[in-house]
Amino acid sequence: MDPVRRIMKETQRLLSEPSPGISAKPDETNFRYFHVIIEGPYQSPYEGGVFHLELFVPDEYPMVPPKARFLTKIYHPNIDKVGRICLNILKKQWVPTLQIRTLLISIQALLAAPNPEDPLDPQVAKHWKENEPEALKTAREWTLKYAIDN
């Protein structure tokens, strides 16, 4: 299947069968660029938060993974200050059989299970490892401040 057709097919499925807590809509001017919203997972410090991301599908897709980045500020050891995400399937573990949907579900799962052993933000990871209750409290405060529309 050619990449454009595959992207269109995946987009159609994302719109008609959205995953719980995830919304991904293509930009009106560029079908490769998606506006993504991920709801913070239940019983995580991100619960109740609405996190905006951007996702771009490169020309080489599906041989290379999409690029994804948080636009909403988030306190997380695997997400840096500019929103880049440390996730194995965004890098070496990507295989062409994976889809945009799989990637988004994996990002949502990363919110539920931060991994300070493989950090992108070393300061947050250090905080997480040295005082997890305090780090969770900070993550919750950031969620309330940046990811909840008041």
Which residues form the catalytic set?
86
62 near 3, Cβ under 8 Å? yes
* CA end-to-end span of the chain: 45
In three-state secondary structure terms, 7 is helix
* C-alpha span between 54 and 35 (Å, rounded): 5
Cα 94 to Cα 68: distance, rounded to the nearest angstrom:
13
Q: Is residue 61 within 8 Å of residue 97, measured between CB atoms?
A: no
- Contact in structure between 70 and 85 (CB atoms under 8 Å): yes
Neighbours of 141 (CB within 10 A): 12
